[in-house]
Amino acid sequence: MIGNRRLDNVQKCVEDVIAHNVPGDFIETGVWRGGTTIFMRALLNLHGVTDRVVWVADSFEGMPKPSSREDGFDLSFVKYLNISLEQVKRNFERFGLLDDQVRFLKGWFSDTMPNAPIERLAILRLDGDLYSSTMDVLRNLYHRVSPGGYVIIDDYYSWPSCRQAVSDFLRDTGINPRIQQIDDDGAFWKVEAP
């Protein structure tokens, strides 16, 4: 679903943090069928990395209903987006990549992100679309991204509510990254030391 340019971006970010020994795991928040996280796990396998985990975070029940007008579009009724945890695990198994380097966080981000058992991240990839989903992830995980790591926002340019959440978070925290465009949808930045 994310296309070649965003996949290329994931690969470049993953290979950069591996090459520069940036500490931390990888996470995608909002995984649909799991394709991007499967790709991340495959890259770890390709590079012989055994000390990082790929976290797969999703409701596995489709998208939540918007909780306010600022959340944006309501796609909670779209059954096509409702992919079960079991299906995502089967997708990992198809590639021989379901192992102890893959961990799942099932539930709404408002419930799972505050207590996510993650110490450090090298890659934080957000694909939650809604304002509240994006904000839940940024507020709870951004401070865990190591300097030299990456934040990737899948729908930065295509979902105004997502872009607004990113803008509000950065304004509220005083963080001023150099946001780079990936394609018509996605953006990313490298986390600098404070």
More confident: 2 or 142: 142
Give the tens place of pLDDT for each residue, 25-56.
999 999 988 999 999 999 999 999 999 999 99
* Residues in the chain, overall count: 194
Average pLDDT of 63-89? 72
Question: pTM of this prediction?
Answer: 0.93
Q: Check if the beta carbon of residue 53 is closer than 8 Å to that of residue 150.
A: no
- Residue 1: closest CA among 42, 33, 40: 33
Please give the C-alpha separations between residue 78 and each of 35, 55, 91, 106, in angstroms, as whole numbers. 19, 25, 21, 19
- Residue 35: closest CA among 87, 74, 79: 87
Average pLDDT of 134-152? 98
Query: What CATH number is associated with residue 10?
Result: 3.40.50.150
pLDDT of residue 3: 78
Give the tens place of pLDDT for each residue, 91-115.
999 999 999 999 999 999 999 999 9
Integer Cα distance of 92 and 36 in angstroms:
11
- Residue 138: closest CA among 73, 183, 94, 189: 189
Its domain, for residue 181, covers 3-190
pLDDT of residue 123: 98
Domain count, the chain: 1
